[in-house]
Homo-oligomer: A and B are copies of this chain.
Amino acid sequence: MPLPIQDAHYMALAIALAKKGRFTTSPNPNVGCVIVKNDQIVGQGYHQKAGEAHAEVIALKDAGKDANGATAYVTLEPCSHQGKTPPCADALIKVGIARVVCATQDPNPLVSGRGIQKLRAAGIDVEVGVLESEAISLNTDFNQRMQKGKPYVQLKLAASLDGQTALSNGESKWITSTKARKDVQFYRAQACAVLSTSKTVIDDNASLNVRWSELPTSIQSVYPESELRQPLRVILDRQKKLHAELALFKTGGKVEIVSPESELFALDKKNNIDLSAVLKQLSAIHQVQKVWVEAGATLAASLIQLELVDELIVYLAPKLMGSDGRGLVHILGLNTMAEAIELDIKDVRMVGPDIRITAKILKNT
């Protein structure tokens, strides 16, 4: 029986493997697996793409005969149901795995615990909860979609240090640095969908796709250009202003236009596009689990006020642009400080010359 520290050691490796899939596994979760026998790693694997082999199957194949009597470290409870691929629990049983260590149970309440039950019923020793928090944070987006039917929404904002997104004449190119824009490419690459508005697309002739050549070199080295997946670009366009000449339509990746004809389109009580419904439909129809929002101050304010934002990513450039520019969020008429939207800052760091702030929204007006 290995010591707890050894279990944590192998699970940490399985988590590192799982992370390698983070640009390509959606709508599946990131999962990694390590097979250990007599304190030797005999097999390892991670899930790369939906429809392809699960982490456990790859690791078992890697281990070959050594899997018999070994311990399998898996970042997520092995599946017990027939999906696009056969159940992993069955595969583990079949080769004679002696012990399974899982970081977390399956977040889907409909199947959670069933894989573990199946393994135990077959006489396998199962332990759950090693490096659980780490493993949960691997799949925040997947977990949220499974549990709430709503994708994880990251809202990007960019401004000067004094909170201006453009000069009064509208000029906004470029407030942030090349390095910050590469960082944005990194977030887009991890997203299933990029959400924006026809106004932003037209004003900036924005393509909103992932340009592999602009990814940070640290990412390029683990995510080859041949594997590049483009996020679905979802553009709110109620008045059908988008036209075929835009860069949006001339660049790689699919576009979903949310105009009255779209199956994503619905109106809320205030006769605005029902953003909550759009997100839920994206999750239900397109299995979208992570949405990266790049738009203007109006959409930003709506998403915040509707409590649809899971994470704010704010880039602040080392500039002062003065007080007649354009603001970061278009929220008007706060009367008391208590009405301000409160944030919890999770991370602050430099990205080149700019500051990047990651925050959760604590309280809405």
Contacts and interface: CB of A to CB of B under 8 A. Distances in A.
Interface stretch (A31-39, A48-56, A264-272, A318-326): A318-326
A220 interface: no
Nearest to A332: B324
A325 B318 contact: no
A321 B334 contact: yes
A330 B327 CA distance: 14
Oligomer copy total: 2
Chain A interface mostly: loop
**Size bracket, chain A contacts:** 35 or more
A279 interface: no
Interface stretch (A3-11, A189-197, A345-353): A345-353
Contact of A304 (B320, B337, B353): B320
Interface string A161-184: 111100111011111000000000
Contact of A314 (B161, B326, B333, B344): B161
B314 A343 contact: no
A322 to B, nearest CB: 3
Contacts of A225: none
A341 interface: yes
Interface string A103-122: 00000000000000000000
Nearest to A171: B337
Interface in A173-231: 173-175
Given A322-B327, A325-B334, 13 more contacts: A161-B328, A161-B357, A162-B327, A171-B337, A172-B337, A297-B323, A318-B342, A318-B343, A318-B345, A319-B342, A320-B341, A321-B331, A322-B329
Interface of A: 159-164, 167-169, 171-175, 297, 301, 304, 314, 316, 318-337, 340-345, 348-350, 353, 355, 357, 359
